[in-house]
């Protein structure tokens, strides 16, 4: 019995790590597409969602169309908010900074939900959260933040709110793949509407083949499949653990940005990353073991 529990815990850790890598890849792909103006950010978001919807519909539709009933308007709206805020923010933020703001904001959202729902939060997880948030303050707490970066940070904060709500709703999904597919399908016309509004306002840029391919890869693989996997592991994770685990993403994203985009790893980013890594370690040290007990009491 103990062996099975150990294997199950290890599997949960591995699946969670794989999901975090997929999330980081989205930051790298988005920044890669926008850094050389290969695509307009709203086009990137729209193509990303449409590609994800197509991939997920094919996978979920093998047994019919019953998965469409899993669509949640609130989840689709939150997904749309995340997609738009995420893409717009990367016009000015580098890969690691954007990911830090995103998942720092997600942590605040999910911890607030845990507290409001009276979920038991162990002391070590509070400590881990405070350490990790200190890293976020180090990163964006400067008074000389340029106007364009401040606007981008606000866009990413909106994305964080959307992703936090989307993750909280995903905890109750009975069919992770079907729910993800349905939410992506429902989000597609919302982003199409955003395209129309941007075009009418004269603020919509163009699309190059390279930018479209990067958006499709982000949508079909690292978003569609990654989010389906996230919905699968979420029911096994307490809200606070799910929030903390996501704070590992900026570290992976920053590494990807340095390798693929030549982005500098500044002392400020290094200190922030170190604090966040320490916070994640403190808060999730017993991810597979004793946390199962706390998760059983989570709503």
Q: What is the pLDDT of residues 7-26, one digit of tens each?
A: 577 888 888 889 999 989 99
Distance of CA 37 to the CA centre of its chain: 23
User: Would you say residue 2 has pLDDT above 60?
Assistant: no
For the cut 90, the answer to whether the pLDDT of residue 131 exceeds it is no
Beta strands in the chain (DSSP E): none
Write the pLDDT tens digit of every residue in 273-282.
788 778 777 7
- Which pTM was predicted? 0.80
- In this structure, are residues 155 and 83 in contact, taking their beta carbons and an 8 Å threshold? no
Question: Is pLDDT at 293 greater than 80 in this prediction?
Answer: no
pLDDT over threshold 70, residue 102: yes
Average the pLDDT over 84-109 and give the result: 86
Residue 97: predicted pLDDT: 82
State percent of the chain over pLDDT 70: 88
Phi, psi of 167 (to 5 degrees): -70, -40
pLDDT tier for residue 299 given thresholds of 50, 70 and 90: very low
Give, as one character, the DSSP assignment of residue 223.
I
**Helix extents (H) in 234-266:** 239-245, 249-261
Q: What is the pLDDT at residue 241?
A: 74
The more confident residue out of 278 and 185 is 185
In the predicted model, what is the mean pLDDT of residues 134-152?
74
Q: Which tokens belong to 265?
A: 């790893």
Contact 132, 240 (CB under 8 A): no
| pLDDT surpassing 60 at residue 200 | yes
Residue 144, Cβ neighbours under 10 Å: how many?
5
pLDDT the model gives residue 7: 54
Check residue 144 and give its pLDDT. Answer: 60
Those residues with Cβ within 8 angstroms of residue 162's Cβ, 6 or more apart along the chain or in another chain: 77, 78, 79, 80, 81, 82, 83, 85
Tokens 């009418």 belong to 200
What's the confidence (pLDDT) of residue 292? 39
Most confidently predicted of 61-65, 169-173, 244-248, 287-291:
169-173
What's the pLDDT score for residue 295?
Answer: 36
Q: Which of 85-94, 97-106, 120-129 has the highest mean pLDDT?
A: 85-94
């Amino acid at each position: 019995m103990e062996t099975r529990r150990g294997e199950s815990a290890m599997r949960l850790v591995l699946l969670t790590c794989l999901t975090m890598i997929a999330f980081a890849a989205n930051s790298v792909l988005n920044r890669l597409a926008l850094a050389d103006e290969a695509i307009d950010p709203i086009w990137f978001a729209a193509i990303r969602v449409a590609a994800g919807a197509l991939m997920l519909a094919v996978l979920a539709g093998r047994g019919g169309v019953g998965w469409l009933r899993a669509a949640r308007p609130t989840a689709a709206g939150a997904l749309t908010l995340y997609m738009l805020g995420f893409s717009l923010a990367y016009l000015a933020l580098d890969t690691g900074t954007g990911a830090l703001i995103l998942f720092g904001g997600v942590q605040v959202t999910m911890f607030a939900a845990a507290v409001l729902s009276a979920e038991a939060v162990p002391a070590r997880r509070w400590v881990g959260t405070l350490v990790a948030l200190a890293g976020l303050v180090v990163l964006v707490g400067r008074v000389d933040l340029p106007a364009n970066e401040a606007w981008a940070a606000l866009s990413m904060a909106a994305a964080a709110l959307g992703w936090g709500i989307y993750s909280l709703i995903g905890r109750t999904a009975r069919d992770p793949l079907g729910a993800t597919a349905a939410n992506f399908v429902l989000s597609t016309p919302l982003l199409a509407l955003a395209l129309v509004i941007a075009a009418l306002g004269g603020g919509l840029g163009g699309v190059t083949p390279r930018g479209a391919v990067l958006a499709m890869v982000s949508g079909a693989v690292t978003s569609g499949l990654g989010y389906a996997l996230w919905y699968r592991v979420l029911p096994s994770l307490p809200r606070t653990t799910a929030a903390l685990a996501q704070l590992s993403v900026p570290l992976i994203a920053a590494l990807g940005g340095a390798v693929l985009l030549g982005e500098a790893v500044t002392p400020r980013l290094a200190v922030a990353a170190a604090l966040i890594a320490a916070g994640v370690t403190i808060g999730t040290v017993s991810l597979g073991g004793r946390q199962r007990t706390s998760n059983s009491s989570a709503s």
